[in-house]
Amino acid sequence: MKDWEIAEAAEANLKPAAELVRELGIADGEWDAYGRFLAKVDVAKVLSRVGAGRHGKYIDVTAITPTALGEGKTTTTVGLVEGLGRLGKKVIGCVRQPSGGPTFNIKGSAAGGGLAQVVPLTSLSLGLTGDIDAITNANNLAMVALNSRMQHERNHDDAWLAERGLRRLDVDPGRIQFRWAMDFCAQGLRNIEIGNGGRLDGFNCKSGFYITVASEVMAILAMSADLADLRRRLSKITVAYTRGGVPVTTADLEVDGAMCALLVNAIKPTLMQTIEGQPVFVHAGPFANIAIGQNSVVADRLACALGDYVVTESGFASDMGYEKFWNIKCRCSGLRPDAVVLVATVRALKAHGGAPAVKAGLPLDPAYTTENLGLLEKGCENLLAHIDIIRRSGVQPVVCLNAFHTDTPAEHALVRAAAEKAGAAFAVSDHWLKGGEGALGLAEAVIKACGETNRFEYLCDLSEPLAGRIEKQVKEVYGGDGVDYEPAAREKLAALQADPETAKLPVCVAKTQYSLSHDPKLLGRPRGWRMPVRDVLVYSGAGLIVPVAGEIKLMPGTSASPAYRRIDVDVATGRVKGLF
């Protein structure tokens, strides 16, 4: 059976949302039903009653560098939740909401797979309770306000503006920082021109789109502590600069309050469940390569107050998702991980070892489906790099080898030996095929890891200079030799360093997810490279400095064989089919 067929079959046994909230100890008045199986939970109300202090063990799931084969990070997250549930633990999962971009493109949904999925799959994959739509609208309302203001300032004098309670902002059309948002992979909208026509058709200028989950508004949702913090952060977003170089914020445009109004419901996590009935909070979005890529702070805090074990997920590999969890999210939440799970597969490690490239629509090369210890041993260099990254944070990882039927005992033994020699715990998990039963060994290894003492510490002190912090991240996390800035990026960095408040913001690098470096072609554990930075963005509302490395795009493109070609509806029943 395909994943969507497994998920559809499981829906016959789903717990109603009312049963899930009862099991969690969430009271009436602290949640709202969205149909029979989904619920929005008011975190502020729950924490004001039960207390915001941490109760549960806190576990992050990350992975080796992604390949076209997939590593199964979300599947492992859900499988671990199911495995801990099988051991009688009160466990809660926290995952990110799938973006429409990958759902309708190559990757598909991010619900997990096999018997380790979050359900109902259709709801999760096709908009859920509207959070991403609300973020899209809030982002685009800011752009509407900016373009309208520029048009009216061009068309009218200061007296006309003053009559309407406005002051001239004098926005520099060449220094607009914000873009429009859309939750699809639409490469044709990366660079556009708006306002063509006459004086009533808006302000004519260059613009563009990014995918919604890369919007600063999504980062703000993920990092906010509560509604008041969300409101405060929204007001600080820098949308442009004046001709004199002064930041123009959403508060200057007087649009910040309306943006927050669009997000009042979005600040509440959505409660769902695994196929085996464990609770899962779904909140915030993916793409740790171009965004923060974390489940929200509020969802994790809520789960830690209610559960004995909390399993959260960071986007992409440890150099991207875990690094941002470690150095950004944990600063915001005040939470520290008790354990970190590092997901790998034999097939993905062979890809890093130099196996032939995977080509869409063609059978896998035999190197992936038959025993090849030479390729696997070479590919383990990538695994060792990610073990080192996690250990650099002061935590000993648990390596989870996500099992496939083509794996051999000798291949499993080789990966185990490499992981244990590097100081990591190790478990093979067969959760895709067997659900929680297949993840019992992983769950036991994680419980043991949670009982050990770690020395979690941040990579840098925020008082260190920005350039030094970026350099340290490249050298100690990615394994590069240094950083090379394009002139405009170096100029921006110097200006940001000159502002005492901005200079202390965390760094959130945007780079490819397909390599430890900036170059997606450099697999394994590349050495002898330097990271080129072509731009440095400031997300003043989210509180982030974003160096943009290499050729990374904030709006992905749609492939020639996207998933939407296989998605359809059974018109007799109204059931969606073909999601994966």
288 is catalytic: yes
Residue whose tokens read 């520099």: 172
- How far apart, in whole angstroms, are the C-alpha atoms of residue 181 and residue 90? 38
| Gap between the Cα atoms of 405 and 384, Å rounded | 24
Give the E-state strand segments of 292-370 in sequence order.
309-313, 339-344
Of 107, 231, 233, 511, the active-site residue reads 107
Annotated catalytic, 281? Answer: no
Q: What gap in Å lies between CA 486 and CA 418, rounded to an integer? A: 39
In DSSP terms, which residues pair with 92 in a beta bridge? Answer: 310
**Burial letters for 287-318: b for 16+ Cβ neighbours within 10 Å, e otherwise?**
bbbbbbbbbbbbbbbbbbbbbebbbbbbbbbb
Active site residue 2: no
> Which of 203, 316, 326, 529 is flagged as catalytic?
316
- The catalytic position among 73, 179, 236, 434 is 73
Q: Is 425 a catalytic residue?
A: no
Q: Is 75 a catalytic residue?
A: yes
**CB-based burial label for 392 (10 Å; 0-12, 13-18, 19+):** middle
Kindly state the tokens that stand for 255. Answer: 């649009």
CA-CA distance, 133 to 215, in Å (whole number)? Answer: 12
Indicate which residue of 62, 67, 75, 274 is catalytic: 75
How many other C-beta atoms are found inside a 10 Å radius of the C-beta of residue 391? 16
| 73 in catalytic set | yes
Give the active site residue among 10, 142, 222, 288: 288
- Integer Cα distance of 290 and 570 in angstroms: 36
Whether residue 492 lies in the annotated active site: no
Instruction: Write the DSSP string, 474-513.
Output: IIIII--S-EEE-HHHHHHHHHHHHSTTGGGSPB--B--S
Active site residue 74: no
Query: What's the distance, CA 99 to chain centroid?
Result: 10
Q: Which of 178, 432, 529, 580 is catalytic?
A: 432
Which of the residues 96, 233, 236, 492 is marked catalytic? Answer: 96
- Among 37, 404, 426, 580, the active-site one is 404
DSSP for 444-471 reads HHHHHHHTS------SS-TTS-HHHHHH
Q: Give kind and range of the element (H or E) at residue 92.
A: strand 91-95
Q: Pseudo-torsion of CA 405, 411, 413, 416, nearest 10°?
A: -90
- By annotation, the residues acting in catalysis are 73, 75, 96, 107, 288, 316, 404, 432
